Structure formats: C-alpha cells, structure tokens
Structure 1
Amino acid sequence: MTYSTAGGATHYGYGLHDSNFLGLGKTIKIEHTSTEARTGDIIQYRDYNLCDKNQLILGYADNNDGKESEFSFSKPFSSIRTDWTSGVEYQDFLREDTYYNAGEEVYRYLHQNAEHSLYYGLRLPNSSDDNVHRLIVGWSHASDEFSSLPEFNSDLDVELPYDRKFDSFWIEYSSFKNSYIEMHNIQQINRTEDFNLGNQWRLRIGGVTANTNQLDKSIQVQLNFSKAIKISSTQMLLGELSSSGFYTSGDTINAINQMAVSYHWQNFSRGQFYAYANVTEGKNLFDDMPLELGGDTGLRGYPVRFQAGNKLELLTIEQRYFGEKEWFSLFHMGAAIFYDQGRAWGESPVDQTYNKTLRDVGIGLRISGTRTGGKDDGIHNVAHLDLSYPLDGSADIDKYQISVRIKKSF
C-alpha cells in the first residue's frame, strides 16, 4: 500500500509490488492508484538482468481519463568499464491535463503523446578507471496533440497548447571523473552514502525536423553538470546545473536553465544544518509545461500547483536531527524544523492570482526503514510527515498543511 498527501492533494495506491518475484530478481507491480488528477490500474514488469545485463521494462495503465503504455529494451553502461550501450524505447499516453491558478483547476484539456527513440554508444578509448568518456548517437521522435473537452468549458479566454511533432537526430558526449568518497548522515539516516567529488557532465546536441515552423530546423541542446565538494569533515556542498531548449537563428523555444545547490553542515553530533537553493528560468515554454511551485514542489505550507510561470526561485533552510536508535528493529527516525521561501512568476497559460514571494515554517518527522529499500533502484526511501504553516497569502488559504510523502532522501 502507498499513501501520500501534500498541499491538499492526496495520492494512494494498493496492490502487489515484488522486486524479487519468485526469487528471480524480476520486479512485478500490479496496483490501483488514485491522485487528484486521475485514478487507474497499473501493471508493470521490470527485468534488470535479462540475457547478460540487458534491461527490459514493460508497462500499461488503464486510467479514468485515458491510457498509458511503455516499452524499453536496453543494454546500459552498467559499470565504468562497460564498452558499449544500446537501446530502444517507446511510450505513449492519452490523458487529461490541467491549467491551475492558486491550486485550483481552471481549465482541463485532452493530451495525446507518443515518444520513441533508438540509440547506440561507446566507451571512448581514452577512458580509464579514473576518467570515463562516452559517446552516444541516437534518434528520438516526439508527438503531442491537444484538444478541448466540452464538459470543461471555461469563462476564461484560454488557448490550447499548440500541437507539435518533431524528430531529432542527436549525438551525446558524457564525462565523469571517478572520485567517490563515503559520508554518513548526509541525505540518509544512519547509512553510508557515496558522493563523487569529480566533475560529471553530459552534452547532447540534435538537429530537429518538425511539423511547425517554430521547431523545424532548430538545434536541440541538453546540458547537465553536477559536482560534490567536501568543504571539511563536517561540511558538504552538492551542486547541479542544467540547460535545455530548441535554438533557431532568431529565437529560443522551451528553454530552461536551472541551478540547484544544497549545503550540509553537521553542526552537532546528531544534527545537520541544511540549506537548499533553486533558481530556474524558462523562455518561450510550451504551454503544457509551465514551471509550477506549491505544496508538492517545495512550498510545504501551500496547496499544490499554487503558482506557475516561466521563472522560479526556491530557498529551503532546515535544522535536522538524525536519531541513533533503531525502533523495533524496523526503522530509524529523524526530525526537522524548516523554513521555505519561494516564488513562481512570469509567463503562464492562465493569469495567476499570486505572483509574489511566499513563505512557510514547519516541523516534521522522518522515518527510514531498515529492512526495506527503494522499490526499483536499491536506495532507501524516507517517509516525511510535515506540519507546515503559511506566512503569506490570503485568508482562504488553510492555516496549516499536513503532508505525508515518501522521498528518496531526508
């Protein structure tokens, strides 16, 4: 069973999930889920060691507003010494998407999507165990079609996102320096964690052909960079930079530039001072992909999707406590006092009531199981139980928000 609630939106699910089906190392999931957006039934099969380290993923969902399917067969770079990779991927969905204002639904429309890709890559000859260089070439196709829903007519003057269909033939280069260290009580409770002090970056450049003048003959660019810095035996800095978009001779479309930094300081024996900052800016974003901020994306004292735009800022400050005791031989506990401050503003498909900086404070418990890990990737999930109080906004916002969520870190 799964359950989470944040910003007034509740998600629950029940069914079967076995990450070692019949002792064969295969993952099976059969689940009924319900969110604020949709309810549905999901069946999924994952095999991470098919025929000598190949991976197979199959999935299908039957929802009340449409269907989803996915297929992936790949041979990944499973280690720094793996010589080559290849894969084929396909996914599609039919669903209802929504424009929001102040956490309230203002317009709903139908969204049909299909994406598929092929790729092949090599570990370059100049690689070593300390420095790994990889080159991948591939082709990707994406199609998005939008239509109105008569039963969701709105008095607002709202335009649908424009249909788009494009192919991208791309080449990707990635590099990372293998310089891992072990730390304790950084993002997990009472667990040894690995962090890479070396530079990690990825650059993909593709030529685009499309059915719209906005995207046709553009250059698609994706850039990612990440690095961990050990300031001292008790201080760690984690940083990420990313940039993506379609570039033409005269314009930039769906461009997103993001910088995120987190600071971790063990300021007493079982405590940590934590600060996180995220600055994101978009330009000419697709209407179905605005930057959103709310109770499920960092502003814990407010409803989900409370603000939207093409610019976003978020600051989180926490004093954390990592408990030492293992309760009932089942889990470790932690706690936090936190402050959130953020804002999403700028261009949005619908006018936004709130576009000023919002703040909240709160307290929370953290629970990390010692007998179970993450469902798919082997990490250990952490349950978050938070009580948050908004410091801004109008009287119609609830005086407090209770959230229960499962995350991958403290």
Structure 2
Amino acid sequence: MRRIRLAKVLLSGYLGLLLPLSAGPLLAAETCLPLTTSDELPEAAQHWHIGKIHFERNDIFDLSSKHSVWFHRFANDYHVITTEAALREDLLFSEGEPLNLSVLAETERLLRSRRYLRHADIVVSAYCPSSRTVEVTVRSWDNWSLLPRLSLGHSGGATKANLGLAEDNLWGTGNQAQIEYFTDSERDGYKLQFHSPNISGSHWQTTMQYADTSDGESYRLNLAKPFYRLSSERAYNLDIFKEIKDISEYARGDVYNEYKSNQQLIELSSGWSFWRDSDSVQHFNVGSTLDERKFDRNNDSTQAPPDNRDLSQVWLSWEFLQSDYRELTNFFLWNRVEDVNFGWQVSLRLGRLLESLGADQGGWHWQASVQKNFEINDISWLVSRLSYSQLHRNQLQEQQLFQSELRYVRHLSEQQVLIAQLQWSVGKNLFRDQRMTIGGDEGMRAFPLYYQTGDKAAIASLEYRYITHWHVWQLLDVALAGFVDAGRAWDNPQRPAGPDDEQNLAGYGIGIRLLPSHSSRGSVISIDLAKPVSDNPELSGWRWRLIAKRPF
C-alpha cells in the first residue's frame, strides 16, 4: 500500500516537472500573429475582443534624421513626454471589449485633436486565434508644448505684442496652463488660464481664465461634458463669464468713438442623444442663458453708447451630426494628416426671452446653421458653412443676420494648391457692438484694421500656395503665396462720412506661410507684403502684415 502511495507521489512530482516544460511548446503554438496594418486583419477576427493594448510614445524630434542638431536633443531631453495614463484616458475602447475598427478610427481623431500631439495612429498589431483576441497598438508623437509667448506682429497699421509662457502638456498630463502679457490696438493687460480637456478620464473638461486689462477685467469658468464621441448619450455644460472692456468704433482704420461694455453671462444646459446609428446621431439640448450687457460712456466717447440689453432666455436645440471623415493633406494646413468631415452638420435652436429671468421684454430668438464639405473630385473640394439668426422682441425692431462661407480647395500638383474663398454677411438692425468689419485680420489684407464696418459685408479672395521642401531646422514648414482680395462692408449709419465709404476695396500681394511642425500651437504664421488698389492717397504704397492664426 505504501509502495502505491509512494508511486503516486513520485508520478505527481514527475508530471509537475514535465507540465511546465510541455506548456512552453503549447503556448508557442498559440502565439499571436503580428500584423503590419489593420487592413491585414482577417475578416473573422474583426469580431473578436481586444486582449491587450500597447503604447508606443514617441518624442518630439527624430534624432536619427541627418538634419538633427543639438537643440533637437535638448528639446527631447527636457520635454516631459505625454504619459501613458493621459493617452489611456482618451481611449474610447478598453481591454476586454469587442473590437470595433470605427471606434479605433474615432479615437485616432480624438488624439490628433489634442494640440500637444503632432500625430497619432491606432492599429491592430496582432491577432491571437486560440483566444480569439487581438492586440491594439496606440502610437503617438509629441509636440513641443512649453512655449514662450514672445511675439511682435504688425497688421493693418496696428502693432501687436505678446510676452508670456504657455504649457500645453503640463507634466505630460495633457492639461494646459498659460500666463501672458499682451498689447494690441484695443488694449493691454495680462491673462491667466488653465484648461483640462479630460479630467481623470471622465471626459469632463474645465476652463478657468482671468484677465486684467487696461480697460477692465474678465473671467470665465466653464465645466462641461460634451458629446465627445458619436455614441455619447448625455452632455452637460455650465459657463460663467464676465467681461468689462472698452469698445472702439472705427472708420477707415481710425477710431471715431469709444464706450465701455460690461457683459455678464451664465449658461446652464443638458443634452441627450437619440436616433443614433453607425455613422450619424441626433442631439436634443435644453438650457437657460442669463445674458446682460450694459454700456456707458468713457473719457474718449464722442457719441452716446448703445442701449443696455438683456437677452436672458430658456431654449431648446436640435443637432444632426453625420460622421464621414477622410484623412487628407494640404487642405487647411500642409505636410500633415488632417481629419476632414464630409458629413452633414446641422443645428437649430429656439429661445424664449423671459422677463422673469431678467430680459428687457419678451420675445423669440432662433438660430440655424448648416455645415457640409463636398468632394468634387480627387483633387478639389468645397467647404461650406451657412448660418441664420433672428431676434424678435415685442416692442423693438426685428434683427436678422445671414452669414455664409465658401472655400474651394484645388490641388494643382503635390506642391501647388489653389484656394478661393467667399464670405457673405447680410444683417438687419444689428447691435452696434456686433457689426461686421473688414481690413487687416478680418480679410482685405492690404487695408488697415476695421477699415470698413457695417451691417453687411462681402469678401472674395484667391490665394495660390506653393508648398516648398524647406524645413527650418525641423521647426517650420515653409510655403510661398500670392493672393488677391476684393470686398466691402456697408450699411453703417453711425460711421462718419469719408472716402472709400461707398467703394469696393481691392488689394493684392505676396507672402510667406510658416507652419510650426513640432509645436502645440498649430497656428499658421503669415508674413505678407500687400498693396491696396485705391485712389485714396493715404493708402498709397505697400503694407506689410504679420499674423498668426488658425486657418478657416
């Protein structure tokens, strides 16, 4: 009997030694099969679950490049790369969930929208037949995010300057912090700002901002959870804003009147999604807005200020969003992947002004907007935006505003792009502080800032852009441009009479476009030399213009 027990013990021990050794070959036979791209994934595996998620985090500069120099190494050494935790918090999928390639693509777009990332892609990197799972790899490339805000710009006869510091990826967390001193044609002062785009992976976001300027102060507190993905079911928003500032009224680029503005706004809303399918969704929102604006004279006032107004209201809105994204290059920017939505985007909002909330009088306020991009052929596209708003108050004149923006993009070759743009705005009885302006930053690049103002405006422009192979130390991508502008703003009874009031404006010029290729602030820097076509002797000669702004 003892011999039988001893034999069992010895057999058990022998098997215990053999099983770990035999498990190796068994597991090796079940090794996951690597993939180069998600397109190689077998059709059957597209319905499996996600087993593992891998992260490949790349630094700012590729030091293996022959153009790499000492400050590229310095930047990589002293930059805090985006943490795996920050990237994981933005993922719209997790381990154990069924694989959905459209969700992977949607997450790619979300990551690429983060300004601290230069690029991101997500691929199925392996599939494991035995466990019927796949492995997903998230690859990201960082931007330089610690930015000294030191700039000097000149546009339309006015000088702008900024001095400060901004960090768009605080300690690799994706949060933004900024302190800045600024001066321009309107005011000077300093601004503090903090923004968190995704609080602890909850997809709640917050913005806190405070500014103290030469003509007043402003602050903003925003806490929101937007419809951050197509399948989001709920959205919330709380916005508190106050701003005190001086507003200047211009004629031909010169100030003819000033007054003080004090705006206070509080908005609270909630939204639901419904009628959702694989590529579209509809949203229903309900909210309340307290919007009070007061105006008063200041030391430079030459005319009476606008009337005070309170447009406090409750409102309902409906939105339709269709997801049809394409990955394009040389569309708004160049030399980088751009996510362009060719689906319909429609919104309607109806507000009821209530005296019980503080409104001056009862009435209705409704707004509508439509945005759609069209692919004409493989080398040309049309970008369109239309909006209409109407404000009807019981004892005051009805206000209306129609605005349209059309942009035609055509690739003449891999390096040549033709861009035509038309902006048309028609208003009726607009508030004085909301009239359209043209000149300088607002189109008509050969004319001073705010050269013409009015309830109606139209601008047409044509730009030829040649994308060079020049890269300034891997910091700036360079393009050359030539442009022609034509336009006019009119219907402003308060503006003093003078030359060019009833004339169409035109100008032309050449310029350089600089795109920071490794910076979290993806604004295009435009340096232009422009000449107006005008009989006004004050506008003779060429004007230079420098401005950094996000495109269209």
Q: How does 1:25-40 map to 2 (within 5 A)?
A: 25-40=174-189
Q: Distance in 1 between matches of 2:234 and 2:517?
A: 36
Does 2:502 match 1:396?
Answer: no
Of 210, 226, 232, which aligns to 1:76? 226
Structure 2 counterpart of 1:20, one-letter code: N
Q: How does 1:6-45 map to 2 (within 5 A)?
A: 6-45=155-194
Supply the RMSD in Å over aligned alpha carbons.
Answer: 2.0
Displacement, 1:24? 2.4
Displacement, 1:10? 1.5
Paired position in structure 1 for 2:504: 357
Structure 2 counterpart of 1:54, one-letter code: W
* Larger strand fraction of residues: 1
Does 2:262 match 1:115?
Answer: no
Q: How does 1:274-353 map to 2 (within 5 A)?
A: 274-353=419-498
In structure 2, do the counterparts of structure 1 residues 97 and 290 end up closer, same or farther at CA, with 3 Å as the change threshold?
A: same
Q: How does 1:46-195 map to 2 (within 5 A)?
A: 46-51=195-200, 52-124=202-274, 126-149=275-298, 151-154=299-302, 158-195=303-340
Q: Distance in 2 between matches of 1:399 and 1:243?
A: 39
Question: What TM-score does the superposition give when structure 2 sets the normalisation length?
Answer: 0.70
C-alpha contact 2:168 2:520 (8 A) present in aligned 1: no
The CA deviation string for residues 354-388 of structure 1, in whole angstroms up to 9 with x for no partner, is 231000000010111111133xxxxx221111110
Structure 1 counterpart of 2:157, one-letter code: G
C-alpha contact 1:308 1:348 (8 A) present in aligned 2: no
Displacement, 1:391? 0.4
Paired position in structure 2 for 1:377: none
Paired position in structure 2 for 1:367: 514
The CA deviation string for residues 216-261 of structure 1, in whole angstroms up to 9 with x for no partner, is 2221111111111111110011001001131257976342101110
Paired residue secondary structure (1:288)? helix
Structure 2 counterpart of 1:80, one-letter code: L
The CA deviation string for residues 280-303 of structure 1, in whole angstroms up to 9 with x for no partner, is 000111112111111110000110
Structure 2 counterpart of 1:368, one-letter code: L
* Larger helix fraction of residues: 2
Displacement, 1:352? 4.5
Out of 226-235 and 174-183, give the one that drifted further: 174-183
Q: Distance in 2 between matches of 1:5 and 1:209?
A: 45
Paired residue secondary structure (1:22)? helix
Does 2:528 match 1:386?
Answer: yes
The CA deviation string for residues 309-330 of structure 1, in whole angstroms up to 9 with x for no partner, is 1110100011111123433222
Displacement, 1:3? 3.1
Paired residue secondary structure (2:311)? strand
In structure 2, do the counterparts of structure 1 residues 105 and 85 end up closer, same or farther at CA, with 3 Å as the change threshold?
A: same
Out of 10-19 and 317-326, give the one that drifted further: 317-326
Q: Distance in 2 between matches of 1:284 and 1:270?
A: 45
Q: Distance in 1 between matches of 2:316 and 2:251?
A: 39
Q: Distance in 1 between matches of 2:159 and 2:381?
A: 34
Percent of matched pairs sharing the same residue = 24
Paired residue secondary structure (1:399)? coil
The CA deviation string for residues 37-82 of structure 1, in whole angstroms up to 9 with x for no partner, is 1110111111111141111111111111111111101111111111
C-alpha contact 2:259 2:301 (8 A) present in aligned 1: no
Q: Distance in 2 between matches of 1:215 and 1:401?
A: 46
C-alpha contact 2:381 2:408 (8 A) present in aligned 1: yes
Structure 1 counterpart of 2:529, one-letter code: L
Q: Distance in 2 between matches of 1:74 and 1:33?
A: 28
Structure 1: which 5+ residue stretches go unaligned? Answer: 375-379
Paired position in structure 1 for 2:372: 227
C-alpha contact 1:321 1:334 (8 A) present in aligned 2: yes
Q: Distance in 1 between matches of 2:225 and 2:245?
A: 30
Paired residue secondary structure (1:228)? strand
Q: Distance in 1 between matches of 2:475 and 2:359?
A: 55
Runs of 4 or more above 3 Å deviation: 248-254
